[in-house]
Structures are given as C-alpha cells and as structure tokens.
Structure 1
Amino acid sequence: MPTDDDGAELLTGAQIGGLLEAAVQHAGGRLVAWELDHVDAQPHRSTTATYAAKVVWPHGERHELLGVSARAQGPTDADARAEIFADGDREVAVWLYPNDPELPGLTRAAYAESMAAILSDYRVVERRLTAPELTLDMMTYRPRRRAVVRDRVAGGATFYTKVLRESAVGPVARRHRLLQEAGVPAPPVLARTPDHLLVMGALPGAALAQALFQPGRPCTAEQLIGVLDAMPTSVAGLERRPPWTDALEHYSAMIAAALPQASSTLDWIGKEVRAGLSGLPQGTEPTHGDFHEGQVHVAGGKVVGILDIDTIGPGRRADDLACLIAHMSTISGMNASQAAGVHALLRAWVPVFDERVDPIELRLRAAAVIVSLATGPYRVQAPTWVSETLAMIDAAGALVRQVA
C-alpha cells in the first residue's frame, strides 16, 4: 500500500526486517524468520502492523508476534509504553505480544495462570482454579484496539474476556448493563478489572455465522428486526457512532492506495451512495452499530442473544440491516451448497427488511459496508487479497446498480 507519511511503505516492505531484527536483539533474542501477519492502515495518519516471527531466545526458540506502529505526526504518549526505534528520520513503536501499549490487560488475559487467578479472585467461578484447568483461545486481536479471549474451564462453563483500552472499558460496561436491565439478551458482565478487562458470560445457542450452514432456517427476518427493536429508547441517548457510509471515502482511499485499478469504480460507488442518501437525517432509533451474523446467537430457530454491543447508540435501522446484508453477501470460503443456502436466506430476508426500511437506502448503505469490508483481505494479508478485494467491490457495485 504505497504511501510514506503514514509509514505504510516501511511497515509492509522488506526493509522492515532490519528494524525487527534490531528490536528482537534489544529484547535479548535473535530473529530467525518473519512474515507480515496483519495491517491496519489509516492513510496519511498511521499504520500498525503485526509480524509472525521465529525468535531464538537464551531459553530456546519460540514463535512470537511482533507489533509495530508508525504515525505521520510521530510517536504519541501511548507509543512511549512500547520501545521506540528509529529508521532514518522516522520513529516507530515496537512491542512483543502480549505487551500491547494500549491494551495493558492483555498481558494477563493471554495466560492461563493469570486468567485462572482473575476468575477465582472475582468469584466468577465457585472454586479456586488452577492454570491446567483453563484453556484460552484468542478469538479476536485488533492491535492497539481490542481483543477477545475465550476462557474454557475444564468440565465447566465458558467465559469471554474482553480486553479494552482504558477509555473504552467504562462505556462498554455501561452498555452491557443497560441492555441487561432492559431484558435484551446481551452477555452479562461478571467482572471488571483495573487493567481494563471485562469478563462476560457466554450466550446460549450458536452464532448465526455457524447456524447459516446447518439444516433448517436459523431464525426469521422478523426476529432479527425484533431483537434490534427491543433495545430500550435510552440507547438513543448514548454517544452516536458514525454510520458506515460516513467512512466510505476513508475506506475507498485505503483500497485505492493498494489497488489503483479500482479507483474509478470506488469513485462511482461513492458518488451514487452520497447522492442517494443526501438529505437523510442521522436517525434516532436505538441501533447496534455493527450488526452481522457473527454478533447474533440463535437456538431452536429463534434469536437468543446479541454480542459486541460496544457500538450501540442512536442511528437508523437501515444501517443495522444493511450491515447484516453486506456481511452475508461477502462470506468467503463457502462451497456451492453453502453459498446457495446463504443466498436463499438473503432472498427470504431482504424483502422483509424492505418493509421495515427504505429499500434504496438499505442497498446503498449495504454497498458502503461492503467497501469497508473490502479492506479486510489486505489487512489480514490473505494470499488472494487482490481477487477477494475486487470481488467485494463488484458486489458493492451490484447493489448500487439495483437502485441507481
């Protein structure tokens, strides 16, 4: 992704190898091999990347994850919690997982011994746990943003630990409490730690993302709308999260920097979306903010829970339904039978969504969400990221053409 002010060229090029070697040597190891693992680029602002590395330490060889951040305006106060290295005139922050400079709780959430102590000390479990009784699985890690770890107790319950920035933990905890008190099936917060961890109970059922591929209808469109409409009106009084359409130019710029051949199509999509949504108010309905098949739990053909409610706030119902359509329209890795099943669900659900919100708005907003998702294959360094990205842009264009 060619640029220089935000450090993207440095962090995604071969020249980063020397800096990684210096950082590992400074930590007391020797870098044997490395490869780019994940990229989060904010054009003309900053770039954060992680690298899967093989390192020889005095105690033996280990696979490690290294993180590096570069900023157009130079290191921040948070960067100072990592190690600062210079490459020419540029200074970058480097850390070794789990010592993320903005997620201090990750250093405890990543290890069974410390998580067993947390679950015991906060009485999340009824007896004192030992490390061998706990299995940890990293579900999500967005460097310097958030992480989610699954904590499975041998012969017992499963919990999820959300690792957050200091500024986020309070608002997220309040949102969970708000929905719980209103009877909306969001996970209960069972513990909150000083290093910004939230331990939550598991939802019943299975994620819609899994149920999509099981026999029978996982739920109805009416139930999906219903769980959103069940959110209390007080949600509309929370801080507003900008809709995905507000970031359309930002994500288009990210893609165009990597794939200049897509620029004209992205420009056309942006023009049509802006024109089609012009004049619409921001909306005051309680909304989820990031509603998709990974956030919904179902059982017995019904919706039984919603996840990741960090983003709830005022907005337009079309944003939530468009987000679901966009995600389901771009599921990768399906075989022909699975794809046919997902498309059949969309054909059944979208007409119901069209009765709840304006059909034109729904499609234009879904197209904007797809553009945001099209940054994903590059960000996670998928081997086929070019073809996957172009296919997503085509899918966004197809939705726009339905209403243009």
Structure 2
Amino acid sequence: MLEQRLLEKAIGDAGRLIAVEPFGEGSIARFAIDAGEHAGDWFVDSSRQPVARETGFVIRSREGVAVARIWRHPLDPRLPALRTALDPVRLGRIANAAGSGGPIEARVLAYRPGRRAVVRLTQHGVHLFVKVVRPGEAEDLAEIHRACRAAGVPAPEVVHWTPAGVVVVRDAEGTPGPVAASRTPAGELLDAVDELREHLLSVRTRRIARASAGSRIDWHLDRLAADLPARAADARALLPALVPHLRRVGQARVVHGDLHIGQLFLTGGRVSSVIDVDTAGLGDPADDTAAFIGHAIASAVTNEVAGRTADAALLQAIADEAADRWLRDAHAAALTALHLVGHGIRAADRSPEAASLLLDRAQRIAPARARR
C-alpha cells in the first residue's frame, strides 16, 4: 500500500500495518516496527489537513503542499499534549506542585491518531484519566462533562483542564458494564441504558455529536472489501442495500455518540457512571442504538472465535434483546450493519475469521431485518 511505501522511503523500514482510519481527504495508517533504532508505532497521514507545527517527516507536492506526514508515537502533530501526558518526569513535577509525591504510572488506554487519546495515571493506587485532545477543544470537552452531570448523566467529574488540550477526570464509579452484564438479566441491563438515554435527552448543549457512521459508508465498505478480498463482492453489495436508508428520522437529539457496554458502570441496577462523553452532543439517536447493538454483536463474535462460548452467548443475548427493543426501522438497521462493517475492519488484521463473521452479521441485520 502507498502509506507503507512512504514509511519505508522515509525511515528505511516498511513496518507492519496495524490499522487505518479515514481522516480528512485521506486516512491515517498505523504501523508497528518491532526492533531496531526505529522500534515503536509509526503513523502515515495522507489527510492533507494542516497542523500548527510539524513533528516528523513531511512529504510535499511540487507546489509545496503537504501530501503526507509521518511521525512516531507519541509525537502526534495534532495532539501536542500527548507527549507531556506520557512523560514521567513532567508528570512528577505536576504531582509535586499539587503536593503529591511518589511514582506515577502512565498507560495509554485509547488512541485515535489526530483526534484524541486517553491516558490512565496511577499514583498510590488512585486512578485519574487524562484525555488528550486538540488544542482549543479542552474547554468544550470539560463543558460537556459538566452539562451531562447537571442533567443527571453520571459522567466522571473534571478536576483539571488546560487550553493546551488536556482534560483530567476522576475514575468511574460502579461495576464495569461487561462484568455487570454477566450478573444482570439482559432486560434489566437495557432498562438501565434506557434510563441513561432519557437523561441524555435533557442535556443542555449545542455541541454536535461525533459524525455518524453513515457519513463514510464508501470508505468503510471499500476498506472491508480490501481486507477480505475473497468476500469483496459481499462487502460492496451492502452499498445499495444501505445507502437509501441512511437518513436521520426526526430532529437531532442529544446522544452519547459511542454508546456500548464498555462505556457503562452500574450500581444497584442503574448506570452509576458513563465514560467517554467526549463524543456526546446533538445527533441521531439511531447511532447510539447501532453502536450498542453493533458492539455487543462484535464482542460476541470475538468470544465465539476465541472459543469462549458462554461469554459469546451472553453477549449475543444482550444484542438480540436490544434489537427487539430498539431496532424498529430500516434506518437504525442500516446503521447497525455499518457499525458491524467497522468492527470487521478492525478485526480483519488479527482475525479474518472474525471479520468474515461480522460481515455475515451485517448482511443479516441490514434493512430487511428491521420491522416497519
């Protein structure tokens, strides 16, 4: 692929492709180099989106336009605060200034290049979570946390934020959703999720939620077709089946933007914490439906392929119950199928079998699955 050739030209090592995400006019591809002077994670950005300061190699056109950027983690040019969030010396200085001493462990829990990262800090057994975003976005992120809490949505409390692109939040309270799901009947779990979604509707914000999965349908289907060449025709056949139904029904409402079991913590049968409200804002409620069902099915498939049949059955039962409760129109069914395509792309490199099964599920749940 082009990105791999560009990386090899820049540093002399093509690396191993890990993931590709659409971004701007192109994408950001992630590669791993396991040994040698260039060991680490490398990124090739073909988005042509401007940055405030270059932090790696830049490949320009004859006209001087940056057509590709290449950098090594954590030197993301759009997330300049990421380097600070992972620097133990700087973290120690911050802690000492706040009157707290002792070693700090920093671990990256999530990273979407060019967009955001989540770093867990642990000191004296206490966790704080640093959300690293683009400079100028931190205040907005702190505000959506505050607005959620004011409306009864139990987002974690923000304890600090800086315009450089850092928001620090406290740990979530309660039992993690995947653990709670193993102890709670599916109907009761979904009752708690319904209550949370009702509270979300009352959040006062003009913020726009994360873009719908339907906004990049061509990229998703082309990518899965490339990852599963033996089933390229099946992937591309989803395009005419889904496109006519990818239109929001009704006005925009406040949604989580990436709702799934892993975002939830429960206490006493209710959601006591919901994390990653970074994606929340005005959007399409069907996207939350699709994200939840799609994630549950993808988790079931992952466990099925790994031979964990009991866990797979539990997660599939939750997905089926959610589909019976929420999947009531062709629009929501189409979005759910597209979320499964996205999960298939992420699974393809490590498990083509899982990716193929997810494509099967997407075909089954496409609009013919919906009740009109």
**TM norm structure 1:** 0.78
Query: What letter is aligned with 1:229?
Result: E
Distance 1:128 1:70, change over 3 A: closer
Shift of residue 106 of structure 1?
1.1
Superposition map of 1:108-123 within 5 A: 108-121=84-97, 123=98
CA contact under 8 A between 2:111 and 2:117: conserved in structure 1? yes
Superposition map of 1:115-264 within 5 A: 115-121=91-97, 123=98, 127-130=99-102, 132=103, 134-155=104-125, 157-212=126-181, 214-217=182-185, 219-231=188-200, 233-235=202-204, 237-264=206-233
Which secondary structure does the structure 2 equivalent of 1:103 belong to?
coil
Distance 1:234 1:226, change over 3 A: closer
CA deviations on 1:62-91 (whole Å, 9 max, x unpaired) are x84242324275x84457232336899996
Distance 1:150 1:226, change over 3 A: same
Query: What letter is aligned with 1:312?
Result: A
Taking only the aligned residue pairs, the percentage that are identical comes to 22
Equivalent of residue 80 in structure 1, options 54, 61, 84: 54
CA contact under 8 A between 1:64 and 1:96: conserved in structure 2? no
State the match for 1:20 in structure 2: 11
Equivalent of residue 264 in structure 2, options 296, 299, 322: 296
Root mean square deviation, CA, Å: 3.1
Query: What letter is aligned with 2:365?
Result: L
CA contact under 8 A between 1:108 and 1:115: conserved in structure 2? yes
Shift of residue 337 of structure 1?
0.9
Query: What letter is aligned with 1:49?
Result: R
**Alpha-carbon distance in structure 2 between the residues aligned to 1:345 and 1:91:** 44
Query: What letter is aligned with 2:74?
Result: P
State the match for 1:341 in structure 2: 314
Which secondary structure does the structure 1 equivalent of 2:303 belong to?
coil
CA contact under 8 A between 2:180 and 2:266: conserved in structure 1? yes
Shift of residue 150 of structure 1?
0.9
Unaligned runs of 5+ in 1: 1-8, 22-30, 57-62
| Structure 1 residue 107 corresponds to structure 2 residue 79 | no
Distance 1:362 1:153, change over 3 A: same
Unaligned runs of 5+ in 2: none
State the match for 1:389 in structure 2: 355
State the match for 2:35 in structure 1: 54
Which secondary structure does the structure 2 equivalent of 1:233 belong to?
coil
Superposition map of 1:321-400 within 5 A: 321-331=289-299, 332-334=302-304, 335-354=308-327, 358-378=328-348, 381-382=349-350, 384=351, 386-400=352-366
CA contact under 8 A between 1:140 and 1:149: conserved in structure 2? yes
Distance 1:273 1:42, change over 3 A: same
Which secondary structure does the structure 1 equivalent of 2:71 belong to?
strand
Distance 1:77 1:152, change over 3 A: closer
Query: What letter is aligned with 1:208?
Result: G
**Alpha-carbon distance in structure 1 between the residues aligned to 2:296 and 2:107:** 25
Query: What letter is aligned with 2:152?
Result: G
CA contact under 8 A between 2:106 and 2:122: conserved in structure 1? yes
CA contact under 8 A between 1:236 and 1:284: conserved in structure 2? no
CA contact under 8 A between 2:19 and 2:346: conserved in structure 1? no
Shift of residue 184 of structure 1?
1.4
**Alpha-carbon distance in structure 2 between the residues aligned to 1:67 and 1:338:** 34
Equivalent of residue 71 in structure 2, options 95, 107, 130: 95
Query: What letter is aligned with 1:252?
Result: L
The structure having more radius of gyration, on CA atoms, is 1
Distance 1:54 1:247, change over 3 A: same
**Alpha-carbon distance in structure 2 between the residues aligned to 1:141 and 1:395:** 27
State the match for 1:60 in structure 2: none
Pairs aligned (count):
362
Distance 1:168 1:282, change over 3 A: farther
Which secondary structure does the structure 1 equivalent of 2:137 belong to?
helix
State the match for 1:69 in structure 2: 44
**Alpha-carbon distance in structure 2 between the residues aligned to 1:79 and 1:375:** 31
Equivalent of residue 286 in structure 2, options 315, 318, 329: 318
**Alpha-carbon distance in structure 2 between the residues aligned to 1:390 and 1:102:** 34
**Alpha-carbon distance in structure 2 between the residues aligned to 1:41 and 1:167:** 22
**Alpha-carbon distance in structure 2 between the residues aligned to 1:47 and 1:309:** 23
**TM norm structure 2:** 0.85
CA deviations on 1:371-404 (whole Å, 9 max, x unpaired) are 22222124xx42x2x3332221111111124249
CA deviations on 1:324-353 (whole Å, 9 max, x unpaired) are 001100111350111111122233343333
